[in-house]
Structure 1
Amino acid sequence: MKKQRAFLKWAGGKYTLIEKITQYLPKGDLLIEPFVGAGTVFLNTNYERYILADINQDLISLFNIIKKQPTQFIEDAKLLFTKHNNQASAYYELRELFNNSKNSYQKALLFLYLNRHGYNGLCRYNNSGQFNVPFGQYKTIYFPEKEIMAFSKKAQKAEFICAPYNKVMAKAKKGAVVYCDPPYIPLSESANFTAYYSIGFSMKDQKNLATLAEKLVKKDIPVLISNNDTTHTRNWYQKADIYLVETRRSISCNQQGRKKIDELLALYL
């Protein structure tokens, strides 16, 4: 099967690791993702149904709009992808419009614009819930029309919900498989850039996620979790089978931050 790219750029996206992730994903009728992100795992698996969740209301609203009206959305979004809008002054004006908008459709259009024009595919908010990713300074901007249409077609099998991970995992019944891609525990203090969303994911949450996985597997509901390979994660996931996957990080500006590192997959089966 040809790999399908997500229509959003996403720091920590799983496109390069998708073959290794799907290798360890158990079979089932339903895939539940409490941290759906850009949706790469969803796009590259073949479950009958999906429950895809995130705490980012802007992201979930965008997905639901594209599920229902992709053609109109593409037509309207293209109007933002102009040469004039690919400069810092226009970007910051549109970012301010996004932060002040109360219109969910307008916000969805602007979310895609900001995602494609902002720095490195980051999705980051300050403590006040304001999107604060700087301008990306790209010479050319790709408009992901084909990827939006592919996402919309696949989305007919999915339910998108905005909810915290614990409430999403509580929906799992026998026959479901749960894949968790939480905000990764940082490899160093300097690697811990500001929260992906205004609600942070704490060490307590990381530990609780492992506890919830242990409870689900006792009910014959398998769980696969991705994270960095650290002493903390090894300790949290000690009741799971651990598999290492090599990846290359590219968030850091310096060459040292782009080296190959090991991530782990923790399989509760």
Structure 2
Amino acid sequence: MTEPLLSVRGLTKDFQVGTVFSRRRVRAVNDVSFDLPAGRITALVGESGSGKSTIARCLARLEQPTAGEVLLDGEDVLRTERRRASRAYRRKVQMVFQDPFGSLNPVHRIEHFHTRALVLHGHSATPEALRELMTTVGLTEDMLQSYPHELSGGQRQRVSIARALAVEPSLILADEPTSMLDVSVRVGVLNLMRRLRDERNIAMLYITHDLGSARYLADTTMVMFAGELVEGGDALAVMDAPAPVSYTQL
């Protein structure tokens, strides 16, 4: 059996909430384990507050887990990179956020984001490299000179995907990447993600509350409920024959 690209073991995340005088601990993610195979799209679905986005932020190293292991190529990065992710980790694992405008600094042109990503990870930001990034995600070269506010929501999300592709990642964490887009452009972004899987063998963790898009896009689906992983398997099987108590039945 092929080794998974990334494995999560016993991932737990607690948050402290309340005032200085009355604080309590809330467990957002409780003892979650799963594998992400190379070249496959895995959907993580659940209602708002189920913990699915917290998992993505932990894997992106934007949040520090309370407990657990994150194994990349068999190595626990939470142990070897305790405080922050290494550049080597970020080369392999990239994140695409829900809000394409909020993740792009409005004072910079699109060319800036791609150039910075390429240079930071040791690539040359040649005109050819920049053009290839844009054409890969279905955008034209002239948009490199645009500012984020001059593009549509769908175009901005494609820019975010292109920025992630600049470092040639093995895994993309896509946190609700279509939820803020018009229905008319969502399918185009989902088809782009499919094509990147097929043509570049990129694995993806697709975070969503939209069961329809998970069914359309994913190879496998996992279901979160109240911070726990309650169901998982082949995407169509999970949707067509859900567990007795399941978010997919709602």
Settle same-fold status: TM greater than 0.5. Answer: no
TM-score normalised over the length of structure 2: 0.35
TM-score normalised over the length of structure 1: 0.33
Higher RCO structure (Cα 8 Å, ≥6 apart): 2
